[in-house]
Amino acid sequence: MSSYKKSSVLLMVTLCFVLLVSACGNQGNSNSTANSSSNATSKSDNATNSTNSNSKDEKIALTLMIAWADDAAAKLEEELIKEHFADKYDITFKTVDNNIAQTIKTTIASGNPVDLAFYWTDAMDAFVDADMALDLTPYLEANNGEWKDTFLDGSLDVATYNGKIYAVPSVPVYPMIEANKELLDQAGVTISDEPTWEEFVTVLATVKEKLGIIPFGLNSSWANWPVRENLMSIWPEEEQVTAWSNGEIPFTDPLVVEAFDEVKNLYDQEYVYPGKGALTVTLEQINVAWKAGKIAFKADVNFLAPQSIKDAGLENVQILSWPRMGPRNNVLAAGANGYMIPANVKHPEASIEVLKFLTSPEVLQHRADNNQPVAVKGVTSNDPNYELYSKDVVKAYSQKEITLLSPKIDEYIANKVPANYIFEGKAALEELEKLRLEAVSAK
Amino acid sequence: MKHGFTAQSLHSKTRMLGILFLVPAALFISFSSLIPIVWNFILSFAEWNGFSSMKMVGLDNYVTLFQDSVTMKGFRYSVFIAVVSSVIAMISGLFLALLVYRLGNREGTVFRLIFFTPSMMPFIVIGLLFTFILSPDMGLLNQFFRIIGLESLERAWLAEPGLVLWTIAVVSGWRGSGSVMMLLYTAIVTIPSSMFEAARLEGMNYSQQIRRIILPLIMPMIGLVSMLVLIGAFKTYDIVYSMTKGGPGDYSKIVPIQMLDVGFTFNEFGYAAAIGVIFTVLVSIIIFISRKVVRGDVYEY
């Protein structure tokens, strides 16, 4: 019995010791650089191997975060990259999700950044302000701008901050509207391809009256688009657009108030599906309503429009530019889906090489084959409607949006507008004005 | 002294062995919980964007916090959702436990499984499910009201500022009621059946038994469960995010969502840490108060 007890005690102590050692020792490979912290050894983790141990025979390990789960085209791009660089890089892919910003920042802060990440070229300010993004300008301008010239004219402007380019686009993104022509015919109305705001609202009112439907489908994630578009298009003079973008015009300006009021009117008059509850309607609910013929107009992103129309099974669809409140014919500089490289990436040359391949006409041609507009020259499409889904690419505003003035203004307009204005009125504009003054004084 | 043992040395050896067994777990908890808590507290006195060097700013983050209307509203929303959902979970869980206790073994097992199922579902799934159920146009709830002729009860459950918090709290409470039911049911079945027999002999019906026997005896368990439910309710993030993402506007932007925005969108990790510290203090105070309110005597039987 005594020996049994002793054996049990010895076994327990050994077990505890093993647990202790494994808990402390499960730190992965350690890096010798000053910024590194613990790494996971699992391939599914977002870790990179030690740089010091790389020899000529060892492939450089890269972690790329470039594809959304539901983006078949991006998944194909992952396969193309893996195949192309099979002999050179050991590439691990992570899926992009709605927490992409947090994920990138966490990896940067930990000292183990992803080597290349999807990001929207117009939303880089949060990274640029914190010096978290790699300046791509030297690489773009190398060899007389060889890489830079592959991009569509003006498409790099949105990712340019203080003269430096921090991201490159792959798919230009801008809002547009699809119109179900059959419903418009039933209501006895027509609308031009590039409507004014007044024309658009008049048609909405007529369709609602004649057909008894709530005509405009705009999901909650995109509810800020009308406000953002109106805030860019309402200014009579070009200089005012520039002044507005630079934060020189207050949010209490009468034209700004008018822009907000026009959007509020859409919700007050219940032109936005499904009426009450329009502020929280999801894209899935809008798609169901679109397919069922419950809405006559659907707000969409240009590169999603072909699939949306195909899924709905609608044959008679008119593609509209986003309605404009003022005299100019530009579209919102909604930026583009693109890619960025963290500033503290371990192998910037490798990241650049992969990025160049990823944004080459060779790779992006498959998107053009699926009617997706792309931001590079040299792609072709046999689809006659391809032009319609990218017709407004060249009409982007040259000025940046005021959302780029500060992350707080960006977050407010992205997530709280128009809801806060609808519920709080001028108080919401006063909050925005406070943020504008903070941002301007910080610059 | 043939074996060289005394009672005292055996006791101290046993104690040392116990301490030795606990050391790995204590180390793990220290690394995963205690050290991050202390680090968070220190960070709350600093300004840090997550990348460049940290700068100590004293109480600036706390001053900003109490002047930030969005954050203060977030505290109110978090407390509201936590308290209301906890009350709903406790009341409905207790009610279900009392009902299930009355059933026989087989029926009781089936019903316990049915009522516990929501507690097994991830919050994200619940949130997405109810987004569809509560959809104003095609959602199950509004369609039900339409069918039974009560169109006046139709609402935009997640889009009206005065209603969205109640909606989230009810959904969260419903989800938690299953766990409460199981825990309280477990407490009820430990009550000796002789007590119920004696009560029946004295002519007590079930509601009287509940008032005079069950509730007093399980009150300590009710107190414990209510504390656990309240702590869990304050950590609510995923159900709110999946249902409303803090909207409409910021009318359901609870503290965890605000912290994420402050930290990862605005790159103000020091301020986010300060929010976390104040939130922890607030939750501790509320837990303390609830422990005092729901307090029961311990009976020996």
Task: Give the pLDDT band (50/70/90) at residue A422.
Answer: very high
Contacts of B251 in chain A (CB under 8 A): 419, 423
For residue A34, pLDDT over 50 is answered with no
Task: Give the pLDDT band (50/70/90) at residue B296.
Answer: low
Q: For residue A368, what pLDDT is reported?
A: 87
Q: What percent of chain A has pLDDT over 90?
A: 56
Task: Determine whether the interchain pair A415/B267 forms a contact, defined as Cβ–Cβ distance below 8 Å.
Answer: no
Residue B250 CB neighbour total at 10 angstroms: 25
For residue A42, pLDDT over 60 is answered with no
Distance CA A166, CA A127 (A): 9
pLDDT, tens digit, for every residue of A304-355?
888 888 889 988 899 999 998 888 777 665 678 999 999 999 999 999 999 9
Which residue's structure tokens are 């963290």?
A342
Average pLDDT over residues A243-249: 93
Task: Say if residues A316 and A182 touch (Cβ distance below 8 Å).
Answer: yes
Distance CA A141, CA A150 (A): 11
Q: How far is B169 from chain A (nearest CA, A)?
A: 17
Q: For residue A202, what pLDDT is reported?
A: 97
Q: If you average pLDDT over every residue of chain A, what do you get?
A: 85
For residue A118, pLDDT over 70 is answered with yes
Phi, psi of B251 (to 5 degrees): -80, -5
Best B266, B269, B271 residue to mutate vs chain A (most A CBs within 10 Å): B266
Q: What percent of chain B has pLDDT over 70?
A: 96
Global pTM?
0.77
pLDDT, tens digit, for every residue of A378-416?
888 876 667 778 777 767 776 778 888 888 998 999 999
pLDDT, tens digit, for every residue of B138-153?
899 999 999 999 989 9
Task: Determine whether the interchain pair B247/A416 forms a contact, defined as Cβ–Cβ distance below 8 Å.
Answer: yes
Task: Determine whether the interchain pair A285/B49 forms a contact, defined as Cβ–Cβ distance below 8 Å.
Answer: no
Task: Give the pLDDT band (50/70/90) at residue A3.
Answer: low
Q: How far is A13 from chain B (nearest CA, A)?
A: 7
Distance CA A411, CA A408 (A): 5
Task: Say if residues B260 and B142 touch (Cβ distance below 8 Å).
Answer: no
Q: For residue A20, what pLDDT is reported?
A: 62
Q: For residue B121, what pLDDT is reported?
A: 92
Interface confidence, given as ipTM, is 0.81
Distance CA A345, CA A350 (A): 10
For residue A24, pLDDT over 60 is answered with no
Nearest to A415 among B23, B131, B246 (CB): B246
Task: Give the pLDDT band (50/70/90) at residue B5.
Answer: low
CA angle B157, B163, B169 (to 5 degrees): 90
Distance CA A404, CA B48 (A): 21
- In 3D space, the residue among A140, A139, A138, A105 whose CA is nearest the CA of residue A119 turns out to be A105
pLDDT, tens digit, for every residue of B6-52?
777 778 889 999 999 999 999 999 889 999 999 999 999 999 987 78
DSSP-derived secondary structure letter, A207: H
Q: Domain coordinates of chain B in residue numbers?
A: 1-43, 62-293
Task: Determine whether the interchain pair B51/A415 forms a contact, defined as Cβ–Cβ distance below 8 Å.
Answer: no
Nearest to A101 among B27, B136, B264 (CB): B264
Judging by DSSP bridges, how do beta strands A164-165 and A175-180 pair with one another?
unpaired
Q: Is B203 left (phi over 0), alpha (psi -120 to 50) or beta?
A: left
- In 3D space, the residue among A299, A300, A318 whose CA is nearest the CA of residue A190 turns out to be A318
Best B267, B268, B271 residue to mutate vs chain A (most A CBs within 10 Å): B267
- B62-293 classified as CATH 1.10.3720.10: yes
What is the H or E stretch that residue A264 is in?
Answer: helix A254-268
Least confident of A68-82, A154-168, B247-261: A154-168
User: With helix as H, strand as E and coil as C, how does chain B read?
Assistant: CCCCCCHHHHHHHHHHHHHHHHHHHHHHHHHHHHHHHHHHHHHCCEECCCCCCCEECCCHHHHHHHHCHHHHHHHHHHHHHHHHHHHHHHHHHHHHHHHHHCCCHHHHHHHHHHHHHHHHCCHHHHHHHHHHHCCCCCCHHHHHHHHCCCHHHCCCCCCCHHHHHHHHHHHHHHHHHHHHHHHHHHHHHCCCHHHHHHHHHCCCCHHHHHHHHHHHHHHHHHHHHHHHHHHHHHCCCHHHHHHCCCCCCCCCCCHHHHHHHHHHHCCCHHHHHHHHHHHHHHHHHHHHHHHHHCCCCCCCC
Q: Give all domains of chain A, ordered by start, each with its CATH number.
A: 60-173+335-395 (3.40.190.10), 175-332+406-442 (3.40.190.10)
Q: Is the CA virtual torsion A92, A334, A163, A149 positive or negative?
A: positive
